[in-house]
Structures are given as C-alpha cells and as structure tokens.
Structure 1
C-alpha cells in the first residue's frame, strides 16, 4: 500500500499545530515556509482535514489553522482517512471463479476466498494500529522537535 505525501504533510502539520496551540491560529504561509512546501497544495490538504473536523481555520489577517479538537482526541487513522479517503488496499475480484479454474467448483466458492479473508484481517490490524495512536502520541515522541519548533517558529514572518 502506498499513501501520498499529503499524509506525511498533514500529520506533521497536526503535530506542529499541537505544539503551537498557544500561538494558534497559524497561517498557511508560516506552515508552508516551516516545512518548505508549496502553499497551495498544502492548503488543499489542510482543507481536507478541516472537512473531517480535524482542523479549523479562521479567516483574516490574524487567521490561520488550528486543531479542531485536543490532540489526544485525533487519531492517526482519522488523518489518513481524511487525506486518502476510505482506503481499501486489497480489492478481491474473485478471479478464482473465472476461466478454467472456476468451472465445476461446486460449493467451493460458498466461503469467502482465503486470500481475501487474510488480506482483510491484515488491513483491519493496520487500521486498529493507526486508530490506537493519536496526534498527542506523536507529539510526545519528539520532545526535541517540540522545543525546536517553539523556539524557532516565531522567526518566520507572515
């Protein structure tokens, strides 16, 4: 499975906004400059997060982006789903029923395909793992990043 770079961007922005909660809202210009990202593309990612209720935006000169909820109430899976859509990495097309191999199978196909079942279990494990971690968890894993962000972020000008 391959996720777009927007997932990385979205997660880093959420973590950064969590670290800068007392300075929120943070402008798109500052976020884009902080990570050296194209502003318009980043804005589209952040808008997707806002539609999902993960971020909120405030218009105007002092406007910008903030977390819509406390970081401990935003899961990594929510961010991934907001940016990538409802992922289904494996699509079973039941090729076992086609061609010569599918003829005269009798009731063999009454049960779900073993490959499909195994892939679904793996997908559910992946989803559970991402749902079990929050933005707050990611924030805690990088205390040096938090200090650096808080110390240097004000140097960027809007």
Structure 2
C-alpha cells in the first residue's frame, strides 16, 4: 500500500501543533515554510483535516489552524483517514466469478481466502494506527528528542524574518 505524501505532512503538522499553547493558531504559510513546502499544497491537506474535525480554521490577523480536539483524542488513523479516505486498501473485484467453477450467486468478497487475508491485514493496520494518539507520539518524540518541542514552538511562533 502506498499513501500520498500529504499524510506525512499532515501528521507532522498536527504533531507540531501539539507543542503550541492551547488554542494558538499557526498559518499554513508558517507550517509550509517549516518544511519547505508550497503553501497551497499543505493548505489542501490542512483543509482536509478541518473537514474531518481534527483541525479548526481560525480567521483574522492571528489566524491559521489549530487542533480542534485534544491530542489525546486524535489518533493517527484519524489523520490518515482525513487525507486518504476511509476506503479499504484492498478491493476485491471478485475475479473468481470468471475463473473455473466461478458462480454468479457467490459473494467472493466473503468466500475468497485471499480477500479475507487482505481484510485481516487492513484491519490490523487500522487497529495499530487507531491505537496511537497524537499525545502518545508527542510524548515519544519529546523523550527521544527533548529539544524538538521548544525548537518547534520557536520556529512556528517567531515573528517572520
């Protein structure tokens, strides 16, 4: 399975927002500059996160984006689904109907062992992502890279140069 790179940028952007003061917004331009991305590209991902209820868009001179929920309430799966959609990675086309012994009255999405194996794998992947929150990720990054929270805050909230 291959995810769009927008998933990575959305996850990093959300994680970076966990280190800001609660309620503080950061502009798409500031987040994009943090990673050297085109603002329009990142803004598309941020808007998808707003539609999913993960971020809130704030207007005005100090506007931008901020987390809409506490980091403990946002899973990695929430972010991935906001960017990629909720569709399963494997889509059984029921090609067994066309093969030897295939029957039109059988739902091969349920009967096919390959389809079942792929669904189990998809479910395991989703469970793993659903079991991890932004808060847990924030804590792990802070433990491993203690300067990251402060450095991130300084870069995101400093006046433009």
TM-score (norm 2): 0.87
Partner of 1:141: 140
Aligned-CA RMSD value: 2.4
Cα distance change of structure 1 residues 40 and 96 upon mapping to structure 2, 3 Å threshold: same
Partner of 1:87: 87
In the alignment, the residues of structure 1 paired with residue 29 and residue 156 of structure 2 have an alpha-carbon distance, to the nearest angstrom, of 12
Partner of 1:124: 123
Provide Cα deviations, 1:108-148, integer angstroms capped at 9, x if missing partner: x6x61011011101111111000000111111121122232
TM-score (norm 1): 0.88
The answer to whether the Cα contact below 8 Å between 1:50 and 1:57 also exists between their aligned partners in 2 is yes
Structure 1 spans left out of the alignment, 5+ residues: none
Instruction: Tell me the SS of whatever aligns to 1:66.
Output: strand
Provide Cα deviations, 1:49-73, integer angstroms capped at 9, x if missing partner: 0010000011111111100000010
Partner of 1:43: 43
The answer to whether the Cα contact below 8 Å between 1:33 and 1:156 also exists between their aligned partners in 2 is no
Larger Rg: 1
The answer to whether the Cα contact below 8 Å between 2:19 and 2:153 also exists between their aligned partners in 1 is yes
In the alignment, the residues of structure 2 paired with residue 127 and residue 45 of structure 1 have an alpha-carbon distance, to the nearest angstrom, of 20
Instruction: Tell me the SS of whatever aligns to 1:21.
Output: coil
Q: Once superposed, which parts of structure 1, at least 4 consecutive aligned residues long, lie more than 4 Å away?
A: none
Q: Aligned pair count?
A: 156
In the alignment, the residues of structure 2 paired with residue 41 and residue 103 of structure 1 have an alpha-carbon distance, to the nearest angstrom, of 46
The answer to whether the Cα contact below 8 Å between 2:46 and 2:55 also exists between their aligned partners in 1 is yes
